[in-house]
Amino acid sequence: MKISLVAVSLAVVFSAPTLSFAQSSQPLTRAQVRAEMVQLEHAGYNPARMNPRTYPADIQSAEMRVAQENAAYGASTEGSSQVGVK
């Protein structure tokens, strides 16, 4: 009896930190969801012509295009000079 009580107590103690971080990120606002939908539509996704057989592939390809477009807005990785090279 004592062993099972100790086991349950340890399980509760070790799971408490995990459960406390479950909602660490803020939920999306309506404007953020709308902006994401607009980005997906610009990438070629049209929710009005959703086909249940091709839906996962359609949305995933549109999300991939949006991710590539968003990555293109970052800092340039091409260097303009070389230091110490003659």
pTM for the model stands at 0.53
pLDDT in tens, 22-43: 556 889 999 999 999 999 999 9
Q: Domain-by-domain residue ranges, the chain?
A: 28-72
Q: What is the CA 77 to chain-centroid distance, rounded?
A: 23
The length of the chain is 86
The tally of CA atoms less than 13 A away on the side-chain side of residue 48 is 2
With a cut of 60, say whether residue 68 has pLDDT above it: yes
pLDDT in tens, 8-26: 555 655 565 555 555 568 8
Nearest CA-CA partner of 46 in 35, 56, 59: 59
Mean pLDDT of the region 41-65: 90
